[in-house]
Structure 1
Amino acid sequence: MKNYFVTGATGAIGSALIPILLQDAGTHIRLLLRAKSPEDLASRLEALFSFWQIPVDDTATRTRIEALRGDVTLPRFGLDEVDYQTICANCTHIVHSAGNVRMNLPIEQARHSSVDSARNIIELAHHCPKLLKVEFVSTVGVGGRTNGAVPEEWILTRRGFHNTYEQAKAEAEDTIRAELEHGLALTVHRPSMVVGDTISGRIIHFQVFYHLCEFLSGIRTLGLAPGFGVARLDIVPADYVAKIIAWSSSTHITSGQILHSCSGPDLALPLEPLREQVRKAFAAAGRKLPPVINLPTSVFRALLTGVSVFMPGETRRAIKTLPVFLDYLATEQTFANYRTQALLADVGLGLPAPYSYLDKVLSYYLENTGR
């Protein structure tokens, strides 16, 4: 029997991973969930069952999932001794996909989320005698301000970062790198910007990509838009990343490797045509779109700051995050994925082209947001 310990099950990747793992009837999964109380824990687990479309009467599946109330950033995850020792005694696989995706946290808070949790995962791994594999979810963002293509390897050179999220994730990778030298069977997964699945566009939360689409539509900026130049956006569907992690957890071929789950230099989306597709989808869904007014980036920043004071509170708060996106757009950066794709092609995990699922992703978002 396989016994998985999974963090981040309520996130985009973790929520897509669990149904894949459950396809193996011999798999038992322990989920670490943050909750205020036992009742809140039960409610959060039920919400996950609903998202996974596991009916109440499917006890055979439900009993293979156990939720534990804890926090990945706390020593021993804040669990009591019995629960922690039970995990240690039985765990065969660890998947760490939890993380705070806010990009503008103070650096110490970002480190607490990324680095402290990495240390706690390592400590758990050292106490699991049956452990076969660890899957560690990072981000292509650890490349920071690397020029050109971010390589599919450890990045040891000094570099700047766009934000504290990237920096903390990079420091977390530094933390676990030494463990590989001591023989820990671990794979690092670096996804790019995660979107909904390839089949229906479903995703558990609307995060960075969807906020960016609101900006691309022009709705939040009164039609004002910066010059995009040659900037491109690298996206990847949640179910594809989850399939890679599930497969990787079942083999030692990937031990010690870094896998880039991303569209890569060949398939990353140029922002100009992406904006047109976003606007077309928004218009088809009945959203009223202002005409686009293209401006130099410096003028766009200044004007938007001025007019934002007249906007609703929610829009004003969203606009405060826009400098993060503009900072990315100023970097001509891609993410190498040729080595990863060569490995995955041999096991039937070919990379889906973004335009094969983008309409589904946008449709799901527009159908499930009442704006």
Structure 2
Amino acid sequence: MTARTILVTGASGVVGSALLRVLDAQGHRVIALVHHKPVEVESARGDITRPWLGLDPRDYRDLAARVDVVVHCAASVNFGAAPKTLHGLNVAGVGKVLRFVSDARARLVHASSAYVRHADDETVALGAYASSKRQGEILVRESGLPAATARISTVIGDSVTGHIARLQAFHHILGAAMAGLIPFVPREPGMRADLVPADLVAEALAAMATTELTDGMYWITAGEAAVTFDRIIDIAFAVAVQRHRADDTQPNLYVEALKPRIVTPDTYRQVIAMVRANANPDIGLGRLADLDRLIGAQQSARYFPTSLGVLPGSPPPPTESAIEKALIATCRYLASFPKEYWNGR
């Protein structure tokens, strides 16, 4: 395999940090573009929302002269972020990265979102987020540069350790539910969540970066291995019971009593209206908004397609059993946080 110099933006994030490990293990020369948090490979401190990627012009030119491939992972993945923030990172930021790719005469792997499919659906609460990601995809497609796009679904922790570089909305919701802070979860019968472990996403992106893909759309998703919401709740609370088994102040029956009840969306809306009216301090309104967006993102009965196993060099598509094992690992990682941590959302 020919070694390449690969620039990874968003290198300290959930996907970027996992990708650094994979690329380093494969022997590629890796440079990380970071904004705040340091990483353990060669890095440059920059900002994709600023000219020259926030670098000194001389440093920018030196970096462009070295880079063969850019894997663009930096983005706002906050479904509830302000439209201005989403546009600055997910649209204008993509434009500045494309300029760098052009200056470097490099190839681009653009990390997008599977939830782009909701960009035109005004009934889904994450429409602004999905729209910003779609606009970023359009910029990539119309740039004329050699570029391939990865549509990624909800990322959970490492398949084995469950570790997550940065907690995102799904992790906060799951952790709060395990701590007994979310009493109800709405879902239609059979509703599933498409979850992919961070290391699986990283392996697929590495395959895209190290093969000569110059165009196309690739789905990094669980596909038909998506897990039902009922199963997610069962797994989370099996882990919660294990976590508290040795704690005499929280016996198993107490922990099991905190398990969220699955209700219909109509019942959920009535309950939430009551909760909002009473401003219950134990159920953060921000957490409820995150849950609304998460449910909205997963509301379609259709599976996402998946390119895993078809994409050259990528891992095979996951089985439902493999996704469940990764979810167990993620829940164990989240269970290591004290209950007080989840009260802050």
Normalising by the smaller structure, the TM-score range is 0.7 to 0.9
| CA distance 1:294–1:244, change in 2 (3 Å) | closer
Counterparts of 1:174-213 in structure 2 under 5 Å?
174-179=138-143, 182=144, 184-213=145-174
| CA distance 1:280–1:185, change in 2 (3 Å) | same
Moved over 6 A (4+): none
Provide the rounded CA distance (Å) in 1 between the counterparts of 2:4 and 2:140: 24
Specify which of 310, 315, 331 is matched with residue 300 of structure 2: 331
Gaps of 5+ in 2: 245-249, 340-345
What is the aligned partner in structure 2 of residue 29 from structure 1? 30
SS in 2 for 1:285: helix
Counterparts of 1:187-336 in structure 2 under 5 Å?
187-214=148-175, 217=178, 219-221=180-182, 223-252=183-212, 254-264=213-223, 266-286=224-244, 288=255, 289-290=257-258, 292-308=260-276, 309-312=278-281, 315-336=284-305
Specify which of 310, 317, 324 is matched with residue 343 of structure 1: 310
Provide the rounded CA distance (Å) in 2 between the counterparts of 1:296 and 1:341: 33
**How many aligned positions are there?**
321
Counterparts of 1:98-247 in structure 2 under 5 Å?
98-129=74-105, 131=106, 133-144=107-118, 160=122, 162-179=126-143, 182=144, 184-214=145-175, 217=178, 219-221=180-182, 223-247=183-207
CA-CA distance at 1:326 after TM superposition: 3.3
Gaps of 5+ in 1: 36-43, 50-64, 146-157
What is the aligned partner in structure 1 of residue 342 from structure 2? none
What is the aligned partner in structure 1 of residue 343 from structure 2? none
SS in 2 for 1:228: coil
Provide the rounded CA distance (Å) in 2 between the counterparts of 1:165 and 1:269: 23
**Residue identity opposite 2:157 in structure 1:** G
| CA distance 1:271–1:347, change in 2 (3 Å) | same
CA-CA distance at 1:110 after TM superposition: 1.1
CA-CA distance at 1:175 after TM superposition: 0.9
**Residue identity opposite 2:315 in structure 1:** L
Note if contact 1:4-1:95 (Cα within 8 Å) is conserved in structure 2: yes
**Residue identity opposite 1:28 in structure 2:** R
| CA distance 1:218–1:300, change in 2 (3 Å) | farther
| CA distance 1:330–1:4, change in 2 (3 Å) | closer
CA-CA distance at 1:139 after TM superposition: 0.8
Note if contact 1:228-1:271 (Cα within 8 Å) is conserved in structure 2: no
Note if contact 1:6-1:96 (Cα within 8 Å) is conserved in structure 2: yes
1:247-296: CA deviation from partner (whole Å, max 9, x where unpaired): 221111x32121111111x2111111221111211122127342544443
1:125-181: CA deviation from partner (whole Å, max 9, x where unpaired): 11114x2x2111001011116xxxxxxxxxxxx6656321111001110111112xx
Matched, 1:360 2:311: no
Provide the rounded CA distance (Å) in 2 between the counterparts of 1:174 and 1:202: 33
SS in 2 for 1:136: strand
Note if contact 1:3-1:30 (Cα within 8 Å) is conserved in structure 2: yes
Comparing 114-123 and 299-308, the one that deviates more? 299-308
What is the aligned partner in structure 2 of residue 155 from structure 1? none
| CA distance 1:159–1:326, change in 2 (3 Å) | closer
Note if contact 2:110-2:147 (Cα within 8 Å) is conserved in structure 1: yes
CA-CA distance at 1:342 after TM superposition: 4.3
CA-CA distance at 1:28 after TM superposition: 2.9
SS in 2 for 1:357: helix
Provide the rounded CA distance (Å) in 1 between the counterparts of 2:196 and 2:202: 11
Q: CA RMSD in A?
A: 2.3
Give % identity: 21
SS in 2 for 1:134: strand
Provide the rounded CA distance (Å) in 2 between the counterparts of 1:291 and 1:281: 11
| CA distance 1:92–1:320, change in 2 (3 Å) | same
Comparing 158-167 and 101-110, the one that deviates more? 158-167
1:287-328: CA deviation from partner (whole Å, max 9, x where unpaired): 734254444323322323433545337734322322212323
SS in 2 for 1:350: coil
Note if contact 2:191-2:299 (Cα within 8 Å) is conserved in structure 1: yes
Provide the rounded CA distance (Å) in 2 between the counterparts of 1:188 and 1:240: 16
